[in-house]
Structure 1
Amino acid sequence: MGGNKFPEVQGGGSLILAWQVRNKHVLVIGGGEVAAGRILNVLNADAHVTVICPSSGLNPEVRHRIQTGQVRTHINRSFQPADLDPPGVPDMVLCAIDDPATSSQVYKLCHERRIPANIADVPPECDFYFGSVHRDGPLQIMVSTNGNGPKLANIIRRFIAGRLPGNAGRAVERVGLLRRKLRRVAPGMEEGEKRMKWMSRVCESWSLDELCAMEEADMEGLVEFYKEGRVPKLAELRGESEGAEEDETVVGFDGAFGWW
């Protein structure tokens, strides 16, 4: 056999994941500008947030989140080690304070208790990093520099976002609804690989405009073709053309859809 057909390993990276923290308890230590950004990130992910910071250290945004009830609990004092003890053990800790000694103590305590922690601006004391995120409805694109250059990550993220079509988020919404309908048609675990390959073919053969234009009736008609493994075009589904040609592109599964 000639040549290695497998991807080369590139060490030194991070495992970039979409971490589901919905209804999880996230503890934020600090109340300044960096803490405000962290709080917004986890609120966008529907977490339950506790903030530990003296009231005098709260910036206007963090104060607003507390006063409007977006932050569930505000502890008006500095961090204490007992804040990580039962019964209020957090699922995640985000530390954003200008106190290196306390920050290191927080990380050490979290490490001992196996609580994932991020210590702002101290990459060696982070179990995970925050990237620069573009958000359009369900579409999220994160750029990470693995702690090397947060500002550069922001510049690259804006560069990418500026080149995305305006309807990308809407297309993702419609594809998500189609996937749920397909799951009802073919619910078995044994159908998993076939479902993903078929959905990949839909995404490859339909344009973003077609995906955005897909209505409930179109989806109901489209999933009827799943069993025979065919992906008709939108025009054919609507009876606007006879036997519209199907894109025969063979799509390899890359894990992007997840096992559902």
Structure 2
Amino acid sequence: MKSQYPEIQGGGSLILAWQIRNKHVLVIGGGEVAAGRIVNVLNADAKVTVVSPRSGLNDEVAYRVDQKQVELRDRKFEPSDLEGVDMVLCAVDDPEASTQIYKLCKEKRIAANIADVPPECDFYFGSVHRDGPLQIMVSTNGNGPKLANIVRRQIADTLPHNIGAAVQRVGILRKKLRKVAPAIEEGPKRMQWMSKVCEQWTLDELCEMTEEDMEELLGFYKPGTVPSLDAVRLGEADGAYDGPFLI
């Protein structure tokens, strides 16, 4: 008899959106792989320190240093570099040194990624598509990074051109809604109402939604209705709530 619950498929990773804003990330190495890692963590607003002799930096990493986007320690790695670090990204062509760095990270309980050595990684980097606030990651759990890149491009090619802008407008509306209905007990209703907006409005309509449209639309939150964009702009939608918000 088939179970009504999802079947467990072992061997996967827990894919999360890791918030590392203002966290201290240590990148060991200054080559092409390090350059890619640096872009990833800078996009997440991390504070980045690179440990590598300046002579070993490729052009892109050198640019990040010169632009003061990252701090450079112009020398080889030392254990003291791990003090105060939240994450370590190791990208050096020295397997023995990489293993020693990973062991030190484990002792200090610092999450680490050792490039191209899956068994010595607490997490993997996937292939990411970015469109404004929208991020889509494809991971092969270390089996085939190039294949992940191919799958990511195929997925990106199927997305509407305006999906990123639509996500951004929905985010603004959601923040406004939290101000209108801040109470914790309103959480389920907020989620249900926002779901209705996303389901009933097209991506084009979400992109076109102005600040004025949002303010008008929020008037329909209390009765729990979602009028069309045209109705919002014409002020003809049924169920409008004209009184003060007393949540």
TM-score relative to the length of structure 2: 0.93
Aligned to 1:43: 42
Residue identity matched to 2:22: N
Aligned to 1:135: 130
- Supply the RMSD in Å over aligned alpha carbons: 1.5
More helix by percentage:
2
Deviations 1:149-194 (A, max 9, x none): 0000000111111111110000001000000010001101111111
Aligned to 1:77: 75
Match of 1:187 among 182, 197, 216: 182
Equivalent-residue separation in structure 1 for 2:198 and 2:13 (angstroms): 28
Question: Can you give the 5+ residue segments of structure 1 that lack an aligned partner in the other structure?
Answer: 245-260
List aligned pairs for 1:1-260, cutoff 5 A. 4-71=3-70, 73-85=71-83, 89-239=84-234
TM-score relative to the length of structure 1: 0.89
Deviations 1:113-156 (A, max 9, x none): 11010000011111111001111111111111111100000001
Q: After alignment, is 226-235 or 178-187 more displaced?
A: 226-235
- Name the % identity: 69
Residue 11 of structure 1: CA displacement?
Answer: 1.6
Q: After alignment, is 228-237 or 172-181 more displaced?
A: 228-237
Residue identity matched to 1:70: Q
Equivalent-residue separation in structure 1 for 2:188 and 2:2 (angstroms): 28
Residue 6 of structure 1: CA displacement?
Answer: 2.2
Question: Can you give the 5+ residue segments of structure 2 that lack an aligned partner in the other structure?
Answer: 240-247
Residue 5 of structure 1: CA displacement?
Answer: 2.5
Equivalent-residue separation in structure 2 for 1:194 and 1:242 (angstroms): 20
Deviations 1:34-59 (A, max 9, x none): 00000011011111100000111100
8 A Cα contact 2:85 2:110, kept in partner: yes
What's the secondary structure of 2:27's corresponding residue? strand
Deviations 1:194-241 (A, max 9, x none): 111111111111110010010111111111111111111111101186
8 A Cα contact 2:28 2:90, kept in partner: yes
Equivalent-residue separation in structure 1 for 2:187 and 2:4 (angstroms): 25
What's the secondary structure of 2:234's corresponding residue? coil
Equivalent-residue separation in structure 1 for 2:47 and 2:183 (angstroms): 34
Q: 1:8 to 1:238 in 2, by over 3 A?
A: same
